[in-house]
Amino acid sequence: MNATAARFALLGIDDEVTVCDCCGKKNLKCTVALSQLDADGNEVAVVRFGRDCAARALGRRRTTAEKMELEARTASAAALAAGYRVWPRRTIGEGWGKMTAWVGDKHAAVTTQFHQGDIRRNLDAFVGGPWRYIGACPRAGVRVFVRA
Ligand SMILES: [Zn+2]
Give residue 105 CA to ligand 1 midpoint distance, Å.
33
* Cα 144 to averaged position of ligand 1 atoms, centre (Å): 26
Taking the centre of ligand 1 as the mean of its atom positions, its distance from the CA of residue 16, in whole angstroms, is 16
Q: Contact at 8 Å (CB) between 107 and 147? A: yes
Residues 6 or more apart in contact with residue 98 via CB below 8 angstroms: 91, 92
Element (H, E) at 123: helix 116-123
State CA 55 to chain mean position distance: 16
| Residue 61 confidence (pLDDT) | 87
Three-class SS state of 70:
helix
The pLDDT value given to residue 24 = 98
The pLDDT of residue 3 is 45
Q: What share of the chain is helix, strand, coil (3-state, %, to 5)?
A: 30, 30, 35
Per the CB < 8 A criterion, the answer to whether 46 and 33 are in contact is yes
Sheet of 8-14, strands arranged across: 8-14, 31-37, 43-49
What is the Å distance from ligand 1's center to 48 Cα? 9
Residue 137 CA, ligand 1 centroid: distance in Å:
26
Supply the pTM of this predicted model: 0.89
Task: Going residue by residue through the chain, which has 148 residues, state the pLDDT in tens, using 9 for 90 and above.
Answer: 444 445 999 999 999 999 999 999 999 999 999 999 998 999 999 999 999 999 999 999 899 999 999 999 999 999 999 989 999 999 999 998 899 999 999 999 999 999 999 999 999 999 999 999 999 999 999 999 999 8
**For position 2, what pLDDT does the model report?**
44
Beta strands in 5-147 (DSSP E): 8-14, 31-37, 43-49, 89-92, 99-103, 107-111, 131-137, 142-147
Task: Give the distance (Å) from ligand 1 centre to CA of residue 10.
Answer: 15
Q: How far is the CA of 28 from the centre of ligand 1 (A)?
A: 9
